[in-house]
């Protein structure tokens, strides 16, 4: 598993934790930063996970608006928490990170949806992120 794949999983964990526990994402990030300082072997995945979370924090309103506009008839509240987190990660990578090809961002989000969410989540996540990548 690549460092970026591990980083996406770490970012998913932080976004999910913030969402379900109602904790401020910046506080979850700070706690994870303290933990990461004691795990130098995981530094490569930590750096990109932090970049993702910082990007989501900095662009949250725009990211959420893009998701809601693209996910026809789906509010964020109606989506499973894992799907919300994956869509936020994927949208940030597609829209704000020029180093990641859209196809890679979509594929990584879909694979995580298959592993951690419902049977319907992978096609849903794929559809929303593909439309965002096309600019629909």
Question: The domain that contains 12 carries what CATH number?
Answer: 1.10.940.10
Q: What is the pLDDT of residue 39?
A: 81
The domain containing residue 11 runs over which residues?
A: 3-134
In this structure, what are the phi and psi dihedrals at residue 62, rounded to the nearest 5 degrees?
A: -70, -40
Number of Cβ within a 10 Å radius of residue 104: 15
- Per the structure, the count of domains in the chain is 1
Q: What local confidence, expressed as pLDDT, does residue 6 receive?
A: 93
Per-residue pLDDT 10s for the chain (136 aa) are 688 999 999 999 999 999 999 999 999 999 998 888 888 777 778 899 999 999 999 999 999 999 999 998 899 999 999 999 999 999 999 999 999 999 999 999 999 999 999 999 999 999 999 999 998 7
Contact yes or no for 25/57 (Cβ under 8 A): yes
């Amino acid at each position: 598993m690549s460092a970026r794949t591990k980083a996406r999983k770490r970012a998913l964990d932080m976004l999910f934790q913030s969402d379900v526990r109602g904790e401020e994402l910046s506080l979850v990030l700070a706690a994870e930063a303290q933990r990461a300082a004691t795990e130098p072997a995981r530094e490569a995945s930590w750096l990109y996970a932090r970049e993702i979370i910082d990007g989501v924090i900095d662009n949250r309103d725009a990211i959420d608006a893009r998701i809601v506009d693209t996910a026809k008839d789906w509010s964020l509240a109606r989506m499973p928490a894992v799907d919300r987190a994956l869509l936020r990660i994927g949208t940030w990578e597609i829209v704000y990170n020029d180093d990641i090809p859209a196809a890679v961002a979509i594929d990584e989000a879909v694979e995580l949806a298959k592993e951690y969410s419902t049977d319907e989540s992978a096609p849903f996540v794929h559809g929303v992120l593909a439309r965002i990548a096309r600019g629909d």
